[in-house]
Amino acid sequence: MARLPSLPPFRPPDFKVPARISAAFSKLQNEAPRLLARAVGGRRAERARIWIVFTARLARRQLRAEWAGSPPHRWLIGLPAPQGRAASPKDLRPPRVRRGRAILAGRFTFDGLIMEPGQGIEPWDLPSPSRAFATALHGMNWLPDLLAIPNAGRTALSLVLGWHAVFGRWNAFSWSPDVLERRVFNLACAMGDLTAEDLESEQTLLLDTLARQARELLLVGSNPARAAEQAAAAAIAGCALAGKAGDGLRQKALRKLEQALRVAVLPDGGHASRSPEAALELLFDLRTLDEALQQLGREPPEVLSRAIDRLTGAVRFFTLADGGLPAMQGSEAGEPERIAAALPPEEPLAKGEAPHAQTTSAPYSGYEKLTGRKLQAFIDVGPPAEGAWSEMACAQPLALEVLAGTDRLIANTGWSPRAPTAQALRLTPAGCCANVADASSGQPLQGLPARVLGHRLEGGAREVTGRRHEAEGGSWLEYTHDGWARVFGLTHGRRLYLDQTADELRGEDVLMSAADPFAQPRHKPAFLTVRFQMHPDVKVSLALDHKSVLLQGPSSGGWWLRNDAPEVRVEPGVHMVEGRPQQTQQVVMRTLVKRDGTARLRWKISAS
């Protein structure tokens, strides 16, 4: 595809916010794709929708950049001035003390990348090793880590004031919505420590810059997938500021937050992006806001309280036997201590009260859980998110993870936005699922559109259907998806049965002709492949029959993966931890597809 020329700078009328133009582009972005989808179906409509949204977003961003850097805009976001501090919001995320000590020594580390300006030297004029690193640096994700070190407040204050001296007026990157969101949150939570012992002039400057950035955050947000997080950060800043500045900011942010939460939080508590980690992070932000409102003696909105309750239930459901999250749909497993910190302590049961039944399904989020005596399976049974919500989505329908006790045996690769260059790990062959002819049922957006819209997922399964059966001694799942209908004219089905008596998981992957009468297959597949990515702590051994595979976890003993595939191989694999790749192995099972387009592959996991 030919590279589009960059748009020339556009200057809005002097001293006038381009509200009508911005509203027109918003209407184009929201309405045109829906109208187009009625007239044109299939992949062409999807591509056209992307280019419409891309054009509207690019023009709106250009307009916004021209206005945001102008003197009248900077004057408007500076009024009214804060009148001191009010609440002291607290970030519930556990600080990483080791990273804080490294910053004191002049070394910044994010997701495996390092910048070493040296002790006493500020990093703001130095090039960052990656965009993700720069996002974390300018988002001030290091602030809670540094402030957790005794007597490090002066160093933290110096770094914040240094950033303000270089980027405090405005900058296209450091004032972009995603970076601005985290910086406003981190500054609001650190304001009490930063203003504890400094001069009155520095206090005034810090409060003023927080108010300006929070107001800008409410104006600049255009990505609906981050609207709730942005509104929550602005509301927390409003709680931290006293006077009319804090009251006005808090009230406006809470109104936006109420609207955003109705979309971002699903009825079962999952995040609309379907990322378990996104639900965890939003829960952290909302609990911080709830506590800040209580400090002010303000009653939290009902929508906020309901969202916290739902997210809490969802995070409990997502927490697996090893204390981590499922590494699915843009989520990493995470640290058990961090996940536990987001959850309020459970109330003890009254005498004689029966324990509450554990949730086994999240139908709106699209996940199922099977639990036996030792084995636990977590299955993705939903289609990937669409539109702006799909920037973290993975084309891995019916992927699963399997734990034996507290050992994670089968684990997805764990791609997350912390590893933006590893987009291939979002494809179907990188997941613990089945694929046809080593193809992918969807792929991330690339090129110029991705630079404006993000790496949204194109294609992928759009319909995943199935049901769950419960019987004495076992649970049964039957699900199918249409991710292969467009290219191959096929439907993939996965059946899973967890025998609680024998403590074994039985699976069957099948291909069949797609029921869609409009499916027009362009290729004939040769084989069906089922891949199981192993956790780096698992030892994998192929038996002498070259079919059975022995899986040995650190503490759960040995487990056999038996199957009827004609070809079984153990190949190198990768598992992501905080955006960094770790070497692991994967079991690859392959069988031929018959002339009628059908195939079947059965497998079983049982104790050795």
Residue 135 has pLDDT above 80, yes or no: yes
**Could you state, in order of their start, the residue ranges of all structural domains in the chain?**
19-68, 77-318, 360-607
Compute CA 78 distance to the chain's CA centroid, rounded to the nearest angstrom.
Answer: 33
Task: State the CB neighbour count (10 A cutoff) for residue 131.
Answer: 11
| Alpha carbons 281 and 480: distance in angstroms, whole number | 31
What the block records as the tokens of 19 is 């509200």
Report, as an integer, the average pLDDT of 536-562: 93
Whether 77-318 shares its CATH topology with 360-607 is answered no
Lowest mean pLDDT among 335-339, 469-473, 516-520, 534-538: 516-520
Using one digit for the tens of pLDDT, what is the confidence trace for 278-301? 999 999 999 999 999 999 999 999
Average pLDDT over residues 568-588: 93
**How many Å separate Cα 419 from the centre of its chain?**
12
Provide the percentage of residues in the chain whose pLDDT is more than 90.
67
Could you tell me the sign of the dihedral formed by the alpha carbons of 524, 527, 530, 534, in that order? negative
pLDDT at residue 470 in the model: 93
Dig out the tokens for 128 from the structure. 């960052």
Helix H or strand E encompassing 494 = strand 490-499
| Residue type present at position 200 | E
Number of H helices, E strands in the chain: 16, 21
| pTM listed for this prediction | 0.88
Residue pLDDT, tens place only, 176-206? 899 999 999 999 999 999 887 666 778 899 9
Confidence at residue 320, expressed as pLDDT on a 0 to 100 scale? 97
Closest CA to 436 of 328, 521, 496: 521
User: pLDDT at residue 63 above 80?
Assistant: no
Q: Which amino acid is at 98?
A: R
Rounded CA gap, 254 and 240, in Å? 14
Q: How confident is the model at residue 130 (pLDDT cuts 50, 70, 90)?
A: confident
CATH architecture of 77-318: Alpha/alpha barrel (1.50)
Q: Would you say residue 14 has pLDDT above 50?
A: no
Q: Are strands 367-371 and 375-380 parallel, antiparallel or unpaired?
A: antiparallel
From the CB of residue 52, how many other CB atoms can be counted at a distance below 10 Å? 17
Residue 601 sits at the vertex; the CA angle it makes with 595 and 605, to the nearest 5 degrees, is: 175
| pLDDT computed for residue 44 by the predictor | 60
Least confident of 108-117, 546-555, 594-603: 108-117
Fold entry, domain 360-607: Beta-galactosidase; Chain A, domain 5 (2.70.98)
pLDDT tens, residue by residue, 331-367: 999 999 999 999 988 755 455 554 555 789 999 999 9
